[in-house]
Amino acid sequence: DAGITQSPRHKVTETGTPVTLRCHQTENHRYMYWYRQDPGHGLRLIHYSYGVKDTDKGEVSDGYSVSRSKTEDFLLTLESATSSQTSVYFCAMGLAGSTDTQYFGPGTRLTVL
């Protein structure tokens, strides 16, 4: 609805395999964010981007990397997935002109066996 999508929506993978999650927005917003949501921990910021090729770490960045080669796409990569990375991952975009207002994508449920 807000012009932000995530793919895949569900993924099951095995420990040690690489995984890439994609976030795509059609609103031309400068800021994009990756969060994970776990019971008892709430939403925690993994990485964020403030422009093409401009990214920075969040609260729980270990084991994750990101890339943003185009305004509309923000990729999250788990280089070698671990069971502790089983979670629901949300992407968000920052509204132009008010960068601290964020709109969320539908989420990706990732299970690492």
Partner 1 sequence: QKEVEQNSGPLSVPEGAIASLNCTYSDRGSQSFFWYRQYSGKSPELIMSIYSNGDKEDGRFTAQLNKASQYVSLLIRDSQPSDSATYLCAVNINAGNMLTFGGGTRLMVKP
Residues lying near partner 1 in the complex (CB under 8 A): 31, 33, 40-45, 48, 50, 58, 90, 94, 99-107
Q: What angle do CA 69, 82, 52 make, to 5 degrees?
A: 10
Which helix (H) or strand (E) is 40 found in, with range?
Answer: none
Q: Which two tokens stand for residue 70?
A: 């185009």
Query: Which residues is 2 bridged to in the sheet?
Result: none
62 vs 98 by CB, closer to partner 1: 98
Q: Can you read off the two tokens belonging to residue 88?
A: 């629901």
58 vs 63, beta carbon nearer partner 1: 58
Give the shortest CB-70-to-partner 1 separation in angstroms.
Answer: 19
> Smaller CB distance to partner 1: residue 31 or 72?
31
